Amino acid sequence: MSKPKDERKLELISTACIRIVLTEGFNGLRMADVAKEAGIATGTLYIYYSDKQSLVIDVFKRTKKELADALFAFTPAPAGNDFFGIFKSWWYNYIQFAINHPDRILFTDQFLYSGFIPAEVILETDLLFQPLDAFLVNAREAGLILPLDTEIIKAQLMAPIHTLIKAAGKNIEVIDQRTIDGVFWMAWQSIQPQK
C-alpha cells in the first residue's frame, strides 16, 4: 500500500508550480525549480509527479476543486425559492476567491482552453460545478434568467470577474467594494429575461 501524500507538500508544490507557470510559461517550467521553490528535494517532487505534464494537470484539478469549494461555501438556506439570494452568495464567494487567489484564476484560465488539459479532466472538473449548473437550469426553466445555454450564462457571469483580475494584475488591492458591487449588478442584469 502506498503512503498517503502530504497535503502540506502538495500545497507548496501547487503554489510553486502556479507561480513559475505564470512568470516563465509552461515551457519555462522545470521540475527542479518547482522543487526548489516548494522547499523540497527534486527527488521528493518526482515521488509525487512523474513529469511536468502530470504536475500541471494535477494542479489544475486541485485548483478547480478549491474554486468549487469556495463557490459553494456559505450558501444561505433558501427561504422559499430565493434564487437571487443564492445567486448573490455564490457570485460573491467566487469573486472573493478570485481576489484572494488571482494566481489560481489566471493559471486555470491559461490551461482551460489550451488543449493541454485532457478532455476527461475538463469533464471531471466540470462535474464539481454541477450544483451551479442545476441551479441555473432550474432558474432558466422558471423564467428567472435568459433562456440561453448554461455554459453561455456561466461565461457571462464569470468573464467579468476574470477580466477584473487580469486588469488588476499585481495590484489586486485596487479592487474596492464599489467595483465589486458594480460588477455584481452588471452580471445580475445581464442574465435577466427581457421584460
CATH number of the domain residue 12 falls in: 1.10.10.60
Q: Which domain holds residue 24?
A: 1-50
Average confidence (pLDDT) over 148-154? 95
Nearest alpha carbon to residue 105 among 74, 69, 60: 60
Number of helices (H), then strands (E), belonging to the chain: the values are: 10, 0
Residue 1: its pLDDT value, please?
42
Q: Is residue 26 part of a domain?
A: yes
Averaged confidence pLDDT in the chain: 91
Domain count, the chain: 2
Q: Is residue 30 part of a domain?
A: yes
Q: Is residue 113 part of a domain?
A: yes
Average confidence (pLDDT) over 10-26? 95
Q: Is residue 11 part of a domain?
A: yes
In a shared domain, residues 25 and 75: no
In a shared domain, residues 121 and 160: yes
Nearest alpha carbon to residue 31 among 19, 15, 21, 45: 45
% of the chain beyond a pLDDT of 70: 93
Question: Residue 116 pLDDT more than 80?
Answer: yes
> Identity (one letter) of the amino acid at 149?
D
pLDDT-derived band at 171 (thresholds 50, 70, 90) equals confident
In a shared domain, residues 179 and 126: yes
